[in-house]
Amino acid sequence: MYESVYATVRWTLLDSLTIAGRTYARLRAQPGEIVAFLVFPVIMTVLFGYVFGSAIVLPHGGDYRSYLMPGIFMQVMAMTATSAATAVGEDMARGLIDRFRAQPVARSAVLVGRSVADLSLHLLSLAAMVLAGVLIAGWRARGSLGDTAAAFGLLALFGLAMIWVGTYIGLWVRSGAQADAATFGWLFPMTFLANTFVPTEGLPAWLRPVADWNPMSAVVAATRGLFGNPTSVSPAWPLQHPVTASLLWCLGILAVFLPLAVHRYRTMDR
Amino acid sequence: MIRVEGLRKRYGDHEALKGIDLRVEPGTVCGLLGPNGAGKTTAVRILTTLLRPDGGRAEVDGLDVVRDAARLRFRIGLAGQHAALDELLTGRRNLEMFGRLYHLSRARARRRAGELLERFELTDAARQPVREYSGGMRRRLDLAASLIVSPPVLFMDEPTAGLDPRSRMRLWELLRDLVEEGTTLLLTTQYLDEADHLADRIVVLREGAVAAAGSPEELKRTIGGDRVQVVFREPGDVDAGLRLLRSIVTPEIDSTEGLRVTVPAADGAQSLIRIAGALDAAGIPVEDLALRRPTLDEVFLRLTA
């Protein structure tokens, strides 16, 4: 019994590594992707920081571009769901998921390996965005080193949670395009229906609670606080306790979508 | 090697498999034949542990497909309808990845990839990404990927769909070699000549049930024997021709369609010679005269109509 548990854990780890290796090998095979990955943050920073930013004044003062950057960081991590769903959807369409399932691959390894490799790539993208923020927008983390690390940790956790949302959706579709349609359409607007780009104070009364209770608002508010950047205030509980709220949101999303995705992978009937 | 009893699968209201029985002996090829939606793919997916049956039993290589699924996955290879490969990775890298997932060491995975690339004539393309492969190369790599652990049982779902004739024949050769080495093969196909070429036994599925089973020859015999087909040149000759045919072979005419007349050929080629001689002696010109053997197409059309 002990032997077999040990073997299961060992194979899950090794198989996850093999699958993660595949993600990196794919990236090496398309250098253009890497460039896009790194250039996109710069475009976003310039676009929002200077094009929109020049017209936006924060109600309680503070530099808009410093306010903005944590929002963009969160948005990058939120969109991991779309790329995860698209990649899994493509593997479904190609029959690769079937091949993995008909092979003696550890049952959660395909999804775990993918999600971890995916997260590491998105953290790379986040690093490029941080660099763009520092160099172009003059963004700085003004909190302590520990707080700064905590903020990045929170962003990583949020990215991981969103990857599992995307993974689960990807396991229900039959093509990469379908996966894109099934995630981007609600996810992208949702990143705007939050305190990402503007404070929620100015929203109509009926819309404001939606934005305040959007998990993304909690993540953005928490990182703004930890980075020591200008933030906006709201009486809503999640924004009064943004670190606790965003941790709860992320762990809650993971607790729902990780088991759902693994279960779907193991039992899928087409 | 494969034993299936009363296998059932239902999707909502649709009964995909209504209790099929199947036996495939070791080292033989079984062809699952049937129109789209007959349940071929569902059967393969159950036998390869991808799908749980709702009823009945299925054993592959002595292992139950549900209870012993984990162990069975080391004993089977599956090449599905799509070439299930990573398009961005090279052929070699694909095989190495699948080898690692069968728990081969890095060195053994690399060695096995090399062997398989060699065997399937892909060594030259080993360093190219799969998206640059032709259809035939993809299929060969897909087959190679399903053979990493030399599984005793191989499942192929429409292995040659969409291939050009030359690539198809090449794949058939490779499959025949595998069977000669002792692999048991179950394949689904819509191409009857494929089943005819490869299969020792054919099982025809229709609406989730077995409509017929037997060797290709047995199935053809159910349709009846050989026939001679005469195509007259002149419409005016058809009546005289028919009278002549009735007098020399049999009073029964199978079918008459315009200038084309089909009659049973009880003595095979001898019947053809007699008919040719009689028509020639009577001076009736023909456009075409041929001995026709029943084809699996006819069996298929009759059984699945």
pLDDT digits (tens, 9 = 90+) for B165-195: 888 888 899 999 999 999 999 999 888 888 8
What is the average pLDDT across A146-157?
97
Distance of CA A64 to the CA centre of its chain: 23
> How many other β-carbons are positioned within 10 Å of the β-carbon of residue B235?
9
* Per-window interface: A 95-154 vs B, CB < 8 A: 95-96, 98-105
- Of the candidates B279, B299, B281, the residue with the CA atom closest to the CA atom of residue B290: B279
Structure confidence at residue A114 (pLDDT): 94
Q: What angle do CA A78, A252, A67 make, to 5 degrees?
A: 40
Residue B293 or A122, more confident: A122
What is the average pLDDT across B204-210?
91
In sequence order, what DSSP letters do the residues of B51-77 get, joined into one string?
S--SEEEEEETTEETTTTHHHHTTTEE
ipTM, two decimals, is 0.86
Flag whether pLDDT at A129 surpasses 80: yes
| CB distance A63 to A230 below 8 Å | yes
- Of the candidates A126, A229, A210, A114, the residue with the CA atom closest to the CA atom of residue A163: A114
Give the separation between CA B144 and CA B163, rounded to whole angstroms: 17
pTM as predicted: 0.85
In sequence order, what DSSP letters do the residues of A174-225 get, joined into one string?
SSHHHHHHHHHHHHHHHHHSSSSSS-GGGS-TTTHHHHHHSHHHHHHHHHHH
Cβ B82–A26 below 8 Å, yes or no? no
Could you read off the pLDDT of A167-206 as tens digits, one per residue?
A: 999 999 988 889 999 999 999 999 999 999 888 888 999 9
Strands (E), chain A: none
- The answer to whether A92 faces chain B, any CB pair under 8 Å, is no
Q: Distance between the two ends of chain B, CA-based, in angstroms?
A: 31
Handedness of CA B142, B144, B147, B149 (dihedral sign): negative
Give the separation between CA B260 and CA A126, rounded to whole angstroms: 76
Q: B247 falls in which pLDDT band (50, 70, 90)?
A: confident
A contacts of B50 (beta carbons < 8 Å): 98, 101-102
The C-alpha torsion from B74 through B18 and B4 to B79, rounded to 10°, is -30
Residue of B80, B102, B129 with shortest CB distance to A98? B80
Give the separation between CA A101 and CA A19, rounded to whole angstroms: 13
Structure confidence at residue A2 (pLDDT): 60
Query: What domains are defined for chain B?
Result: 2-221 (3.40.50.300), 227-293 (3.30.70.980)
Q: Distance between the two ends of chain A, CA-based, in angstroms?
A: 34
Q: B251 falls in which pLDDT band (50, 70, 90)?
A: low
**Lowest-confidence pick of A54-68, A132-146, A250-264:** A54-68
- Of the candidates A183, A187, A167, the residue with the CA atom closest to the CA atom of residue A87: A167
The H or E element containing residue B14 is strand B14-24
Min Cα separation A27/chain B (Å): 9
Could you tell me which chain B residue has the CA closest to the CA of A27? B88
Could you tell me which chain A residue has the CA closest to the CA of B94? A22
Cβ B89–A25 below 8 Å, yes or no? yes
Give the separation between CA A19 and CA B58, rounded to whole angstroms: 31
- Name residue, tokens 């990404």: B129
Q: How many residues make up chain A in this entry?
A: 270
Structure confidence at residue A19 (pLDDT): 93
Residue A61 or B204, more confident: B204
Give the separation between CA A142 and CA A224, rounded to whole angstroms: 10
Flag whether pLDDT at B224 surpasses 80: no
A174: number of CA atoms within 13 Å, CB side?
A: 3
Min Cα separation A269/chain B (Å): 6
- Name residue, tokens 């002149």: B234
Could you tell me which chain A residue has the CA closest to the CA of B66? A267
Structure confidence at residue B294 (pLDDT): 76
Q: B305 falls in which pLDDT band (50, 70, 90)?
A: low
| CB distance B162 to B191 below 8 Å | no
A contacts of B76 (beta carbons < 8 Å): 102
B contacts of A93 (beta carbons < 8 Å): 82
| CB distance A163 to A85 below 8 Å | no
Cβ B89–A29 below 8 Å, yes or no? yes
**Lowest-confidence pick of A154-163, A224-233, B133-142, B290-299:** B290-299
Structure confidence at residue A231 (pLDDT): 86
**Lowest-confidence pick of A208-212, A240-244, B201-205, B232-236:** B232-236
Mean model confidence pLDDT for chain A: 90
What is the average pLDDT across A11-24?
92
Structure confidence at residue A3 (pLDDT): 64
Residue A31 CA: distances (Å) to CA of A17, A45, A90, A122, B298: 22, 22, 19, 16, 54
Could you tell me which chain A residue has the CA closest to the CA of B154? A102
